[in-house]
């Protein structure tokens, strides 16, 4: 890829993720976070909340599986044993100061509930100039539906979402890339290992990945114009920057040193001979002499007539014993 192209992509796409994560200008009314046990969305949600705090945005947290109100959340709506309509009402009451509501959505709710939730929140979100962030656990198997003909919840969500962020663990991405570079089968982790008794494969240190911390975000953003943007980003762990940090912390995955190690500095194209203590090169004179050497049977290759080419010219030596019957020259 040409360097100019990359730098253009970098400026453009970093601006985009910054806009999305800070929920500026309702860049994405409905963001879908697809996480898994190997890389939960919790750190990204925290990052959303941190940025919302910095830009003084109101945060409503609709909790389907969280008990405790996370830090920095303005309104916390617990949903246990509540009907969708009640939840929508509570949420509407919570966002008086017209703002945004990152919510967590568990992966196992009935589609009817899901649909009505989106339908009821969608319009009000538009009115109130709010953005909705929804979490979907990819690894929770989809439960059978009541209505077999309606689309299942995940396609509905991905269809409706304006941007979809799929989360990956950086160390796993590195391990998979390392395998790919060697043309090996990519390793799998956690549930995909299909090993008895293993739910999570994530361990602090995976062999060979060093101190690869952070989350890889695979972003698919759909613009109003219809053009889509696909990009891979890296979000460093929260411990590496202060909560008040304003500048963009997310980088492109391609810019990461671990993922895309810089080329060897020694890339002079003229210098393509192997290094050795022996002089393997030829001087000009030697090269000229080499070209002057006449190879054996050189003449035989210039056959004049048919059947002549390829004839072997052979001079009998004294030790050769010529036999009329067998040998024919």
Partner 1 sequence: MPSQPPLPPLLTSYLSDQRESSLTLVSSILGATSNWLVLRYLYAALGTSSSSNISIGTDELSNGAKRKVVLVSFLRGWEFWRAEAKRLGLDLARLADKQQFAFVDGLSELFNSSSSASSAPINTGSTVRTTLPLRSQPGAVPGRGPPSAVTPGRPGTESLRQREPGAVKKLHFTGHGIAALDAMEKDVISEINRQKSSMTDGDEMLLILDQPDFLLAATGASMGVGATEMAEWVTGLQQQVHATVLTMAADSPLIHNASTSGNQLSTPIETEHAAFAIGMAHRAWSVMQLRTLETGAARDVSGVLRISRGGGWTAEAEDNLGERELLYYIQRDGGVRVFGRGES
Interface residues toward partner 1, by CB under 8 A: 35, 37, 40, 42-43, 46, 65-68, 70, 80-81, 106-110, 137, 139-141, 143-144, 191-192, 194-204, 237-239
- Which among 82, 94, 80 is positioned nearest to 124, based on CA atoms? 94
Nearer to partner 1, 43 or 122 (CB): 43
Tell me how far, at minimum, the Cβ of 25 lies from partner 1, in Å. Answer: 29
Nearer to partner 1, 63 or 91 (CB): 63
**Residues 138 and 106 sit within 8 Å (Cβ to Cβ):** no
**Residues 309 and 302 sit within 8 Å (Cβ to Cβ):** yes
Q: How far apart are CA 80 and CA 69, in angstroms?
A: 14
Q: How far apart are CA 239 and CA 221, in angstroms?
A: 28
Residue by residue, DSSP assigns 106-121 as: -S---HHHHHHHHHHH
Tell me how far, at minimum, the Cβ of 228 lies from partner 1, in Å. Answer: 24
Tell me how far, at minimum, the Cβ of 15 lies from partner 1, in Å. Answer: 27
Tell me how far, at minimum, the Cβ of 68 lies from partner 1, in Å. Answer: 5
Nearer to partner 1, 142 or 282 (CB): 142
Nearer to partner 1, 191 or 229 (CB): 191
Nearer to partner 1, 38 or 231 (CB): 38
Q: How far apart are CA 235 and CA 193, in angstroms?
A: 26
| Longest Cα–Cα distance in the chain | 115
Tell me how far, at minimum, the Cβ of 202 lies from partner 1, in Å. Answer: 6
Tell me how far, at minimum, the Cβ of 97 lies from partner 1, in Å. Answer: 26
Nearer to partner 1, 79 or 162 (CB): 79
DSSP state of 72: T
Q: How far apart are CA 304 and CA 310, in angstroms?
A: 10
The 10 Å CB-count burial string (b at 16+, else e) for 87-116 is bbebbbebbeeebbbbbbbebebebeebbb
């Amino acid at each position: 890829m040409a360097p100019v192209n990359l730098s253009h992509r970098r400026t453009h796409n970093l601006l985009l993720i910054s806009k999305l994560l800070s929920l500026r200008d309702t860049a994405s009314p409905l963001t879908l976070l697809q996480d898994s046990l190997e890389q939960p969305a919790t750190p990204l949600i925290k990052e959303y909340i941190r940025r919302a705090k910095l830009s003084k945005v109101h945060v409503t947290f609709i909790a389907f599986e969280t008990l405790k109100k996370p830090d920095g959340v303005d309104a916390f709506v617990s949903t246990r044993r509540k009907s969708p309509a009640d939840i929508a009402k509570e949420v509407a009451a919570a966002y008086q100061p017209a703002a945004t509501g990152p919510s967590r959505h568990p992966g196992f709710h009935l589609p009817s509930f899901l649909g009505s939730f989106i339908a009821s929140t969608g319009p009000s979100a538009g009115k109130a100039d709010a953005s909705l962030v929804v979490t979907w656990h990819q690894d929770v198997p989809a439960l059978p539906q009541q209505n077999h003909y309606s689309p299942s919840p995940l396609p509905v969500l991905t269809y409706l979402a304006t941007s979809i962020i799929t989360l990956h663990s950086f160390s796993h991405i590195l391990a998979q890339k390392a395998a790919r570079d060697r043309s090996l089968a990519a390793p799998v982790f956690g549930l995909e290992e299909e090993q008895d008794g293993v739910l999570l494969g994530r361990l602090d240190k995976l062999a060979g990945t060093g101190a690869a911390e952070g989350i890889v975000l695979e972003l698919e953003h759909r613009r109003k114009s219809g053009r889509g943007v696909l990009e891979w980003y890296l979000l460093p762990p929260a411990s590496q920057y202060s909560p008040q940090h304003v500048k963009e912390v997310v980088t492109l995955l391609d810019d990461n040193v671990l993922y895309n190690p810089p080329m060897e500095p020694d890339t002079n194209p003229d210098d393509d001979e192997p290094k050795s203590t022996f002089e393997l090169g030829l001087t000009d004179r030697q090269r000229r002499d080499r070209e002057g050497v006449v190879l054996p049977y050189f003449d035989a290759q210039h056959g004049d007539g048919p059947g002549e080419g390829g004839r072997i010219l052979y001079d009998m030596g004294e030790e050769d014993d010529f036999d009329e019957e067998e040998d024919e020259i």
